[in-house]
Amino acid sequence: MPERLINKEDGMSKMRNRQTGASLLSIMIVLIIGGVFFSVGFKLYPAYFDYKLVDSVLTDVSTDQDELSKPLIRLRQDLAKKFRINQVKLPQKDSIVVRQEKGMIYFDLDYEVRVPMFYNVDAVVSFNKQYEAVKP
């Protein structure tokens, strides 16, 4: 019996000797993958940040009765001014369409941003949302 216990202990010590930490290669692979994800996130962040600003402005305008009572031309000018103040540059001039139908005002947001990633690889981020408000 004592021999068996000794053998078990020897087996455990052999396993401990074979256990090692992460190799340099595995650490480098993890760092490279993490760097790629960080780079992609860092490049896509401005597009999403601009979208959140546009979303905030359009939500505020669609709930503000004073803004909604203005003519559509004036409403478009005010939107352009708010975007300029927030330093938002939409890719196309017609990214936001403001229209009035049957006592309702609709704000149609539809645009996409092309972000260069690596060499000839681009990411395309699309944004599409509709806001509606009752014309006072």
| Per-residue pLDDT at 125 | 95
- Encode pLDDT of 62-90 as tens digits: 999 998 999 999 999 999 999 999 898 88
Specify the residue for token string 């340099």: 24
Reading the block at residue 125, the tokens are 């981020």
Of 73, 75, 113, the residue nearest 91 (C-alpha): 113
| Residue ranges for the chain with pLDDT beneath 70 | 1-17, 19
pLDDT of residue 20: 74
User: Considering only CA atoms, which of 34, 52, 40 is closest in space to residue 115?
Assistant: 40
Res 6: pLDDT: 52
Contacts 24+ apart (CB under 8 A), 66-69: 68/105, 68/133, 68/134, 68/135, 68/136, 69/135, 69/136
Alpha carbons 109 and 98: distance in angstroms, whole number? 9
3-state SS of the chain: helix, strand, coil percent to 5?
55, 25, 15
Q: Which two tokens stand for residue 85?
A: 């103040």
Residue 58's pLDDT is: 94
Instruction: Report pTM.
Output: 0.75
End-to-end CA gap in the chain: 93
